[in-house]
Amino acid sequence: MKSSHPTIGGLLRSLRARNKWTLKQMSERSGIPLSTLSKIEHDRLSLTYDRLQQLSERLNIRMSELFAESEDASAPAVTARRSIGRVRDAVRIDSKNYEYFYLCPELRRKRMVPSVANLRARSLEEFGPFLRHAGEEFIYVLKGTVVLHTEFYDPLTLEEGESVYIDSNMGHAYVIGPDSDAATVMAVAATDDDQSVIEALMATND
């Protein structure tokens, strides 16, 4: 069954349509070969994090703009923003240690970045280097047991229904607890710059 989640290809098509670029113009601006870009837009190829970062830099737009769906430029400014976050509508971001579902992608320049994440690593050794990014974050355990490792504190075990709020600049890693087969968390990261958070979410930790 085909996934109902927005795809990078579909989002790139929307971005190109918003800017009224031809496929060739998009290729020239991004530095991605025309044939490759066409395959991406038709969901026959995906983009690595490095390519997405390259695209963001060459098009001079924030990473969050790549995830944002089209909007009516003629619409009046909204003073009270609202977005309903559903996993089926989220943008899926795959990394070595987490499978993220980036919620409310249509909102630009968010002060909070909400997501749901399935954890993959079962130990700090498997996780690799700590993650660090600007801002603060709140994690709520939806399923399973989670162990939080940080550079300044002893490991913290969180059960379902428990949560933690941390400084995201501090090195940190979330792994599946030893008594759980799987673990899922709700993550809300807050920063003045959603670009840095999205980059952290997509980091591969290779």
**What is the tens place of the pLDDT at every residue in 111-138?**
788 999 999 999 999 999 998 877 889 9
pLDDT (0 to 100) of residue 13: 84
Structure tokens at 38: 């066409």
- Total number of domains in the chain: 2
- Where does the pLDDT of residue 176 fall: very low under 50, low under 70, confident under 90, or very high at 90 and above? very high
Higher pLDDT pick, 201 / 103: 103
pLDDT (0 to 100) of residue 18: 84
Higher pLDDT pick, 136 / 157: 157
Q: Are 201 and 145 in contact (CB under 8 A)?
A: no
Task: Indicate whether 181 and 105 sit together in one domain.
Answer: yes
What is the DSSP annotation of 2-46? Answer: ---S--HHHHHHHHHHHHT--HHHHHHHHT--HHHHHHHHTTSS-
Is position 140 within any domain?
Answer: yes
Residue range(s) defining the domain that contains residue 156: 87-202
pTM for the whole structure? 0.63
Q: Are 185 and 142 in contact (CB under 8 A)?
A: yes
- Where does the pLDDT of residue 160 fall: very low under 50, low under 70, confident under 90, or very high at 90 and above? very high
Q: What is the pLDDT of residues 79-107, one digit of tens each?
A: 577 889 899 888 888 888 999 898 988 87
Of 109, 21, 28, 96, the residue nearest 61 (C-alpha): 109
Lowest pLDDT segment from 17-21, 147-151, 154-158: 17-21
Higher pLDDT pick, 110 / 162: 162
Backbone angles phi, psi at 139, to 5 degrees: -120, 130
For residue 194, pLDDT over 70 is answered with: no
What gap in Å lies between CA 141 and CA 124, rounded to an integer? 18
Q: Are 59 and 47 in contact (CB under 8 A)?
A: no
What gap in Å lies between CA 147 and CA 125, rounded to an integer? 13
What is the rounded average pLDDT for all residues in the chain?
Answer: 81
pLDDT (0 to 100) of residue 66: 67
Is position 41 within any domain?
Answer: yes
Beta partners for residue 164, in sequence order = 139
For residue 154, what are the contacts with CB-CB under 8 A and spacing of at least 6? Answer: none
Task: Indicate whether 26 and 99 sit together in one domain.
Answer: no
Long-range contact set of residues 28-36: C-beta below 8 Å, sequence gap at least 24 = 29/58, 29/59, 30/54, 30/55, 30/58, 30/59, 31/58
Task: Indicate whether 156 and 92 sit together in one domain.
Answer: yes
CATH number of domain containing 15: 1.10.260.40
- Where does the pLDDT of residue 146 fall: very low under 50, low under 70, confident under 90, or very high at 90 and above? very high
pLDDT (0 to 100) of residue 74: 45
